[in-house]
């Protein structure tokens, strides 16, 4: 077959989870919580199923959920999105990203991405005829050098994709980054796709700079978020998209023919659950404790931890342990020491290997403890 994506294999996440299961390793690879979601949220889903909310929702999502999302966004950013036209429920963040690119990236368009970049970005751009233009970020701080971004901007630049807090590095955009972004996009029609799925997971009193907070950016931005990350329900495939009417209309045209609509009873349940803001506001401190707990334990190992400002990922150098490539190293420690992680070279189109692996700390203290007990032996 003449493949549309000849060089793409299986995503690293299910690959490492499969290996973790095979070798009975502690799985700190694929990012998902191993603790339960709120029993209250589960019983709400149950209630709505019993009440008969089991048929098609409207394609953009049920209105009460879109209203709750608009309220939350207004309270957190000061930007008001129309629930009717500017908020759309999606089957997870990944489908939101796919649909934005499908609707807005045309043959030959260039899209600037920052690498390491989440693994679906570049293939999605390519399959829609676009050309990914990577800007490489390097450890330890993974800061954006905006001079490098400027060099890539031309009349072909259709979109800049951002991710804050960032997967896999856990860095966040600063106010200075936002100022640069405003300067760079001024007097252009460049669009922004901002993946903010870890928006509620941010540490040490730092600020999440959502595109929604800056009117000149918001008018050109599609913002992706995820209930999977916020309510510990990654298997429910529930996310949403915010963006101006003129762009959202294009995305909705295509989304209705892709997923048509998302799961109805869960939308009602989440709408009710979100009526209590503490359900999303408390996520920050819960994860801060986990990050600190994991970092504390990891001090007893030979890994060097890199700074983490947000997300539920901790990256680490392993130079003191081995000279292997990060992929080989990650596979070996899964098999030999029983801890699965993610090598970060897979997030660079160049496969740049900075000898950094990623741990997911969205786990119970018991899981983290068991993992570090094993890592201490390396």
Which residues would be at the binding site for ligand GLN (CB under 6 A)? 11, 13, 30-31, 167
Nearest residue (CB) to ligand GLN, 18 versus 139: 18
Could you tell me the smallest distance in angstroms from the CB atom of residue 28 to ligand GLN? 10
Q: How far is the C-alpha of 258 from the C-alpha of 372, rounded, in Å?
A: 42
Which burial class, exposed, middle or buried, applies to 254 when counting CB atoms under 10 A from its CB (0-12, 13-18, 19+)? middle
Please state the φ and ψ torsions of residue 281, each to the nearest 5 degrees.
-75, -25
Nearest residue (CB) to ligand GLN, 113 versus 218: 113
Prior bond to 168 cis, omega within 30? yes
Could you tell me the smallest distance in angstroms from the CB atom of residue 93 to ligand GLN? 8
Indicate the SS3 state at residue 248: helix
Q: How far is the C-alpha of 121 from the C-alpha of 269, rounded, in Å?
A: 30
Nearest residue (CB) to ligand GLN, 57 versus 241: 241
Could you tell me the smallest distance in angstroms from the CB atom of residue 237 to ligand GLN? 11
Nearest residue (CB) to ligand GLN, 185 versus 314: 314
Buried b (16+ CB within 10 A) or exposed e, 232-248: bbbebbbbbbbbbeebb
Contact call for residues 346 and 337 (beta carbons, < 8 A): no
Could you tell me the smallest distance in angstroms from the CB atom of residue 169 to ligand GLN? 11
Could you tell me the smallest distance in angstroms from the CB atom of residue 119 to ligand GLN? 7
Nearest residue (CB) to ligand GLN, 57 versus 161: 161
Could you tell me the smallest distance in angstroms from the CB atom of residue 92 to ligand GLN? 9
Nearest residue (CB) to ligand GLN, 11 versus 256: 11
Could you tell me the smallest distance in angstroms from the CB atom of residue 239 to ligand GLN? 11
Nearest to 201 by CA among 243, 240, 232: 232
- Give the angle subtended at the CA of 195 by the CAs of 190 and 199, to the nearest 5°: 130
Nearest residue (CB) to ligand GLN, 60 versus 228: 228
What secondary structure does DSSP assign to 256-280, as a single string?
Answer: HHHT-S--HHHHHHHHHHHTSTHHH
């Amino acid at each position: 077959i003449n493949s549309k994506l000849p060089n793409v294999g299986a995503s690293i996440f299910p690959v490492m989870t499969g290996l973790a299961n095979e070798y009975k390793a502690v799985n700190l690879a694929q990012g998902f919580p191993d603790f339960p979601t709120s029993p209250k949220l589960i019983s709400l889903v149950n209630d709505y199923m019993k009440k008969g909310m089991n048929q098609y929702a409207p394609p953009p999502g049920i209105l009460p959920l879109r209203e709750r999302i608009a309220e939350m966004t207004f309270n957190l950013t000061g930007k008001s999105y129309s629930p009717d036209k500017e908020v759309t429920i999606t089957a997870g963040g990944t489908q939101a990203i796919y649909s934005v690119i499908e609707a807005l990236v045309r043959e030959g368009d260039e899209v600037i991405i920052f690498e390491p970049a989440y693994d679906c970005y570049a293939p999605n751009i390519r399959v829609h005829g676009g050309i990914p233009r990577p800007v490489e970020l390097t450890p330890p701080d993974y800061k954006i050098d905006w001079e490098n971004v400027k060099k890539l901007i031309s009349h072909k630049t259709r979109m800049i994709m951002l991710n804050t807090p960032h997967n896999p590095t856990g860095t966040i955009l600063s106010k200075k980054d936002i100022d640069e972004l405003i300067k760079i996009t001024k007097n252009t029609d460049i669009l922004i796709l901002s993946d903010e799925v870890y928006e509620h997971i941010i540490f040490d009193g730092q600020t999440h700079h959502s595109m929604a907070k800056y009117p000149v950016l918001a008018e050109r931005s599609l913002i992706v978020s995820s209930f999977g990350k916020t309510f510990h329900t990654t298997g429910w495939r529930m996310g949403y998209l915010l963006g101006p009417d003129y762009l959202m209309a294009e995305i909705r045209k295509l989304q209705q023919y892709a997923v048509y609509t998302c799961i109805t009873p869960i939308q009602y349940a989440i709408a009710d659950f979100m009526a209590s803001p503490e359900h999303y506001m408390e996520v920050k401190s819960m994860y801060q404790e986990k990050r600190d707990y994991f970092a504390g334990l990891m001090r007893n190992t030979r890994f060097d931890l890199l700074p983490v400002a947000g997300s539920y990922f901790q990256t680490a150098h392993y130079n003191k342990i081995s000279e292997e490539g990060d992929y080989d190293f990650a596979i070996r420690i899964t098999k030999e020491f029983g801890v699965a992680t993610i090598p970060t070279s897979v997030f660079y189109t160049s496969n740049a290997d900075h000898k950094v692996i990623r741990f997911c700390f969205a786990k119970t203290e018991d899981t983290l403890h068991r993992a570090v007990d094993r890592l201490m032996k390396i």
